Structure 1
């Protein structure tokens, strides 16, 4: 019997939930009880819309549209919303490669301006990426198209290697780490 999209969606959502629970237990911060992890549910998407009003915001991601597209196309996707108390702090969205050997982080954003998790939200996201990649059997994480040189350099400081674009349409720049 062939698995349907909804079967795959249910199976991989259970994997994503398992990863969120594992990462929540592994968060190494004293205020970990204030940090909550979820998928990109309607509450997270509605909170992300409020980011449009923050003057310091440097991206123009449309989380509602991108999440809808990813849900339709990629049942194996990676998705994570990080909350501090009741405030959305970070969102991320990605997908495994066709053969499942790599996990691509396509979009990641932390709330601009004041953040209770500044300097920590990426560490939490990376824990989730590694856990999900391990669950899928992937041995590499790629962070696709860093938005600027400072962000690229941040990932390089975290142990990623930068791979510049070849110039071809389907080969953008990215940062990569073997796990």
Structure 2
């Protein structure tokens, strides 16, 4: 990577890192669940993830730590969120702005197999806050894992779009 590209990437990381921090702060201020919080993804998140990564009840087998390093390098404008209840990790989410920058996509979301908390609802607080800070007009959840999950997103106010295989919700 040339020095110019590296400097530009570092500037984007700094600028959007601040927006990510603001969105997490805004989401935490809106939380209505005691002892629950949202954070940016960090080493503590991965350490907590190790407790459930090999659970036979996991619906997906994403390798969050490995995927995260690649995601972090390739998408300085990314969305990220870890959801906690006390010291227990509820789940992760990662996304990025759409190519036209009119929306914010949620590419990966996973809830701990042992968690009963409403992970999507909690993540959505941060997703909505970040999308608003970016000036996005919609959020979309990419590639729902199955019909039951897609139906769940639709119950939460998303509309399924067959063409993009995503569930879209307008920001008002």
Instruction: Supply the distance in 2 between the matched residues of 1:145 and 1:11 (Cα, whole angstroms).
Output: 28
Report the counterpart of residue 154 of structure 2 in structure 1. 156
Instruction: Supply the distance in 2 between the matched residues of 1:134 and 1:96 (Cα, whole angstroms).
Output: 11
**Gapped runs of 5+ residues in structure 2?**
none
Q: Name which of 142, 167, 172 aligns with 1:175.
A: 167
Report the counterpart of residue 168 of structure 1 in structure 2. none
Report the Cα offset of residue 60 of structure 1: 0.6
**1:6-17 pair list within 5 angstroms:** 6-17=10-21
Could you state the TM-score of these two structures normalised by the residue count of structure 2?
Answer: 0.91
Report the Cα offset of residue 16 of structure 1: 0.8
Q: Pick which of 41-50 and 123-132 moved more.
A: 41-50
Report the counterpart of residue 31 of structure 2 in structure 1. 27
Report the Cα offset of residue 49 of structure 1: 2.8
Report the Cα offset of residue 65 of structure 1: 1.7
Instruction: Supply the distance in 1 between the matched residues of 2:18 and 2:41 (Cα, whole angstroms).
Output: 14
Q: Name which of 139, 142, 145 aligns with 1:141.
A: 139
Say if 1:71 and 1:22 are closer, same or farther in 2 by CA, change over 3 A.
same
Report the Cα offset of residue 140 of structure 1: 0.9
Report the Cα offset of residue 37 of structure 1: 1.6
Report the Cα offset of residue 116 of structure 1: 4.9
Report the Cα offset of residue 69 of structure 1: 1.2
Report the counterpart of residue 59 of structure 2 in structure 1. 58
Question: Does the 8 Å CA contact 2:38/2:82 hold for their aligned counterparts?
Answer: yes
RMSD, aligned CA:
1.6
The C-alpha deviation readout for 1:64-87, integer Å capped at 9, x for no partner, is 122111111110100000111111
Find runs of 4+ consecutive structure 1 residues off by over 3 angstroms.
none
Report the counterpart of residue 108 of structure 2 in structure 1. 107
Could you state the TM-score of these two structures normalised by the residue count of structure 1?
Answer: 0.88
